Structure 1
């Protein structure tokens, strides 16, 4: 399974509608290596993209383990790979306390879910974990094929690679606002970040990366925006990609914030797939 160096993180592209299918097919034509379906998608959403393409790797990013049974997920994932030429990766995550009733012991719950996948015969090399902290990263290396960290910096990528060691995949998500207007770009980025500033898992992770409570106040500081979102033109995005890849990432999942289905921006950024890294 060849991911390439650059992929796209998006949810709308996986909707069961013509414009999404057309966008998925175009992403493949543009040379992107993978589509990472955002939110908490079931395996069936990945099949929408798989059916519209021939070569793209498609992954959930991430399937919420609190909402599914491992045996069911294993069967669905294996069926997707059998039907679509072994192009599906199962991204799993524990979500967040404010979003999950009776949320408790996320690491232990993930271990139990992975054991259920093992019992159902799902191969470890076909799964990745949403991981920020050391313990979940260690589990990603031991019981999966790597990690898909979200809302991180290149400094986190260095740290994650050190914990994962050589071999496991490391796929950080990178937020992008493609614009030549820095003020407008920060505005778009700040609007997007609001939901994450209410989720303890992300705040705790960001604190380990040099941000503090002053950066989370009043909609997020310029330091926070500039440190977590690539705002600028194609060259700015290329530099962010280079930083993550040099830090140890195998592949970077670009999330363009300009629009829910930012096809024009994907076209503009497609040159990043042409052997620059």
Structure 2
């Protein structure tokens, strides 16, 4: 599989309206991909639509769009629009997301996350191929949906997958798996579940800063926000960090946020956040690749080095 080197957009330090020049520079730096996200900032599609024009050489991917915050038909329409803008260059990343995003923020229902993801994948494969879909799935029913303009080249579809069941689904029915918050060693365990022929994509949070203590103090806030989410807690139990993270979970459950932050071991931060000078960070990213990661998607974090400089110094051709 061709080695990719991706970048997350929008960047942490600027709005999308100010990102054009840096996005346009990415191909010359050696970046092959740009990937969006969808939490509570930019949506997952508009940044990619703009990047399709700003950097017409790169592959575009969503990592990820939740399957329960849009109806199946609307999700198919959005994906078809991107596939039309960037034929053969768009990858639709979908996933279950979390109860906070689906229920508390979007008034949806977070039930049967595996089933909803599986059913959405199966629906999208048919709809994006131009078929008329009338089908009763386990988690929803579609009656007579057909895209007015199906893409000439249907996009590949990849799944957010953190544990064996979803990883197996990604390998068996999708075109790849997306994960994040893992170490280079963890890549081997994930890769073993999907086999050699399935693309593995991961967002890597990178801070170009050789002050390790400063990075750890900042990163622990990010880690606490993610690793206390049940799906990520279960992921790290499976990866073998359950005991190391138990004090954090206990403090968080007791409502003591500061104690939870302090309870995160430094070695967990060092496992999950790429940090150091630019050369050290690039070498660490290459460890992920050597262990089976096909597509590292970098997410440079704010630090003493400006984001645009970090983007340039983290490039594979730097």
TM-score by length of 2: 0.78
How far is the alpha carbon of 1:228 from its aligned partner? Answer: 0.6
How far is the alpha carbon of 1:3 from its aligned partner? Answer: 6.7
Counterpart in 2 of 1:88? 90
Pairing 1:268–2:268 present: no
* Gap runs ≥5 in structure 2: 104-108, 130-152, 252-259
> Aligned partners of 1:120 and 1:55: how far apart in 2?
27
Counterpart in 2 of 1:214? 247
Alignment of 1:29-178 (within 5 A): 29-40=28-39, 41-101=43-103, 102-122=109-129, 126-178=156-208
Give the number of the structure whose residues are more often helix, by fraction.
Answer: 1
How far is the alpha carbon of 1:117 from its aligned partner? Answer: 0.6
> Aligned partners of 2:154 and 2:292: how far apart in 1?
21
Aligned length: 270
> Aligned partners of 1:63 and 1:25: how far apart in 2?
24
> Aligned partners of 2:11 and 2:267: how far apart in 1?
29
Please say if residues 171 and 194 of structure 2, whose CA atoms lie closer than 8 Å, have aligned partners that are also in contact.
yes
Cα distance per residue 1:131-160 (max 9 Å; x no partner): 110011011112211111011122331122
> Aligned partners of 1:137 and 1:191: how far apart in 2?
28
TM-score by length of 1: 0.88
Larger Rg: 2
Please say if residues 157 and 247 of structure 1, whose CA atoms lie closer than 8 Å, have aligned partners that are also in contact.
yes
How far is the alpha carbon of 1:74 from its aligned partner? Answer: 2.4
Deviates more, 1:87-96 or 1:234-243: 234-243
Pairing 1:223–2:247 present: no
Please say if residues 44 and 62 of structure 2, whose CA atoms lie closer than 8 Å, have aligned partners that are also in contact.
yes
Please say if residues 3 and 33 of structure 1, whose CA atoms lie closer than 8 Å, have aligned partners that are also in contact.
no
How far is the alpha carbon of 1:16 from its aligned partner? Answer: 4.4
Residue number among 193, 217, 221 corresponding to 1:187 in the alignment: 217
Please say if residues 83 and 154 of structure 2, whose CA atoms lie closer than 8 Å, have aligned partners that are also in contact.
no
How far is the alpha carbon of 1:118 from its aligned partner? Answer: 2.3
Tell me the C-alpha RMSD between the 2 structures.
2.3
Change (3 A) 1:186 1:110: same
